[in-house]
A and B are shown apart, each in its own frame.
Chain A
Amino acid sequence: MLRRGDSDPETLSVSVQVLTLSLRRSNHCSLVRSMAPASCALCQNAKAILKRPKTGQQICKDCFFYVFETEVHHTILESSLFKPGDRVAIGASGGKDSTVLAYVMKTLNDRYNYALELFLLSIDEGITGYRDDSLETVKRNQQQYDMPLKILSYDELYGWTMDAIVSQIGKKNNCTFCGVFRRQALDRGAATLNVDHIVTGHNADDIAETVLMNIMRGDIARLGRCTMICTQGEDTIKRSKPFKYAYEKEIVMYAYFKKLDYFSTECIYSPDAYRGHARAFLKDLEAARPSAIIDIIHSGEAFEVREEVKATQKAQQTCIRCGYMSSNELCKACTLLEGLERGMANSVITDRARKKINALGPAPDSLRTIPHYRSPLPVVSVEAPSHS
C-alpha cells in the first residue's frame, strides 16, 4: 500500500506497480454501479471523490493528489529523465496541461530533491485574443510558482505573427506554419535559457490520439517514435513528456481540486481537423472503456518498426541558412518563411510546389531570415548539489 511520506524510490516503484495491477483486476468487476458514497479505496477513511479512469478505483482527494504526483514521479524515475543539476524548461502555454505540469514539477522537485533548475518557456505565436490572454496566465504562474519565465515571440524570431500569416495565407494551412515555427521557437528559446531539457504537458490522451493518427495516415516511422517519453536528436535539446501516462481527466480534476489558474480557450484559427476526429473517436472509446487510452499507448509501444522503415527518415543535416537541424538543405521553418516573404506561402507546403518556387531562382538577398541557430553548449561546470 502507498503511504504518504514513503520516499524510498525502490519501495515506491514496487508499490505503485502492485497498486496498478490490483486496480486493473478490480476494474473488471466494478461494473456494478455503487450509489452510496464510497470511502477511499486507498486510505479507507475519507469519502471518495474521483473514479480513476485508468484503474476504476474510487479515491479521496488527498490520495488522488498523492497517487497522481507519485505516478508522475515514478514515470520520471523509470525513464531516468533527469539528473541532478539539470536545467529544465517547462513548455508553458497557460493551458491546463502545462499549468499542472509546472505545479507538479515544482512539487516533485522539492519533495524528492531532484535538484533541477526549473524555467517556464512560452512561445508567443502572436494570436490576438488567444495567446495574449493565455500568456497573462503564464505570467501569473511565474509569480505563483516562483520560476523564471522566458517568452519568445514568432514576431521577434520570424518577423511574422500568426495573425499576419493568417491574413496572408488564410486559415487552411496555418496550423502547418504554427507547428513548424513553434517547434523551432521552443528549441531556440531553450537555447537562450541554456537548458538541458524541455518538458511538455503532452498527456496520455494526446499520445493515444497521435498513435491513432499515425495509424490512420500510415505513418509507420512516426508511429514507432510517437510513444517515446523522451526524444533527442543529435543536435537537439532533449524533450520529454512526464505526463505520458497521465489521463486528461485526472489532469483537469487535479487542476480543479488544487484550484490552479489556467486558461482554456480554443485557438481562434481553424483547429487541426484531423486530430479533432481522432480526439472525438478516442473520447467515445474512453466513455465505453476507460482503459482504452492506456491500451492504445501500449499498442503503439508494442509495434516493432522494421529497420528499413526507420531508415526512410532522411539523415539529419544543418540548415544552410539558419543552422537549425534539418533533413534538407533548408529547414522547414526557413522554407516556410521564404514562402511568406516571397508571397507564395501556400506553395511551400508540398515538394512539387517547392520545385516551382526554386524555378523562380534563388531567394533574394533582401529576404528576411531566421537568426543563426547555435545549439546550446554543454553546461561547462555544474556544481552538483548533493542528491539525497
Chain B
Amino acid sequence: MSSDTLSLKIEFGGGLELLFSNQRIHNISIPASVPLDNSITSADSIPPADVKQADVTFLMHYLRETLLTERPELFIDNGTVRPGILVLINDTDWELEGEGEYVLKDKDEIVFISTLHGG
C-alpha cells in the first residue's frame, strides 16, 4: 500500500501563486500513505501506527516543504491554511468535504485561492 502514489493537480489563485514560483498549476505525485505527523519522510520506515492515508492536511505541509518558495507564514498558520485562503476539492468548498481530514484520491484537483489580495 505504502508504495502507491496519487497524482494530483494543484492550482493556486488570487495571488497565492506568487508564493509558489508564480506558477498557477502544479501536477504532483505524493505517496498514498504518509506519516501521521505530516513530515515528508517515507512512510515505509516508520511503524504502521504512525502512518495515515494522505489527506489535505498532509498535502498542505507537503506543498510548504516542496513547492513553496517564499513567506511560508502566508500559506500555513497554526497547522491549517491561513484564514482567508479558500480551498476547493474537485471544485467543491473543502468545508463540505471534511477540510484537512479529506482523504485524497488519485487524480483529485485541489485549488487554493487567497481572498486577501487587492480589491
Contacts and interface: CB of A to CB of B under 8 A. Distances in A.
Contacts of B116: 279, 283
A252 B113 contact: yes
Contacts of B1: none
B31 interface: no
Given A49-B92, A49-B93, A256-B13, A264 B83 contact: no
Contacts of A256: 13, 86, 88, 111, 113
B115 interface: yes
Given A37-B96, A264-B13, A252 B118 contact: no
B119 A266 contact: no
Nearest to A35: B98
B84 interface: yes
Contacts of A266: 15, 117-118
A358 B95 CA distance: 58
Given A253-B86, A265-B18, A280-B83, A95 B92 contact: no
Contacts of B119: 93, 95-98, 201-203, 206
In this complex, the interface size class of chain A, counting residues with CB under 8 Å from chain B, is 35 or more
A65 B65 CA distance: 36
Contacts of A201: 119
A267 B118 contact: yes
B86 A252 contact: yes
A333 interface: no
A16 to B, nearest CB: 22
Contacts of B97: 35
Given A252-B86, A256-B88, A134 B118 contact: yes
Contacts of A97: 119
B114 interface: yes
B4 interface: no
A96 to B, nearest CB: 7
B115 A249 contact: yes
Contacts of A95: 117-119
Contacts of B50: none
A373 interface: no
Given A256-B113, A263-B118, A266-B118, A50 B93 contact: yes
B73 to A, nearest CB: 11
Interface string A243-277: 00000110111001100000111110000000000
B83 A283 contact: yes
A198 to B, nearest CB: 14
Nearest to A267: B118
In this complex, the interface size class of chain B, counting residues with CB under 8 Å from chain A, is 20 to 34
Contacts of B13: 256, 264
Nearest to A93: B119
Interface in A187-236: 201-203, 205-206
B83 A252 contact: no
Contacts of B18: 265
Contacts of A249: 86, 115
Interface string B76-91: 0000001110101001
Interface in A30-56: 33-35, 37-38, 47-51
A153 B73 CA distance: 35
A286 interface: yes
B19 to A, nearest CB: 12
B99 to A, nearest CB: 8
A272 to B, nearest CB: 12
Nearest to B111: A256
A155 interface: no
Nearest to A290: B95
Interface in B4-57: 13-15, 18
B110 to A, nearest CB: 13
A49 B94 CA distance: 9
A110 interface: no
A284 interface: yes
Contacts of B82: 283
A70 interface: no
A283 B113 CA distance: 15
Contacts of A122: none
A58 interface: yes
Nearest to B84: A283
A253 B13 CA distance: 11
A145 to B, nearest CB: 18
Q: 7 shortest A-B CB distances, which residue pairs?
A: A283-B83, A95-B118, A264-B15, A264-B117, A51-B95, A283-B84, A97-B119
13 contacts: A34-B96, A37-B92, A51-B93, A96-B118, A203-B119, A206-B119, A251-B115, A256-B113, A257-B91, A264-B14, A265-B18, A265-B117, A284-B83
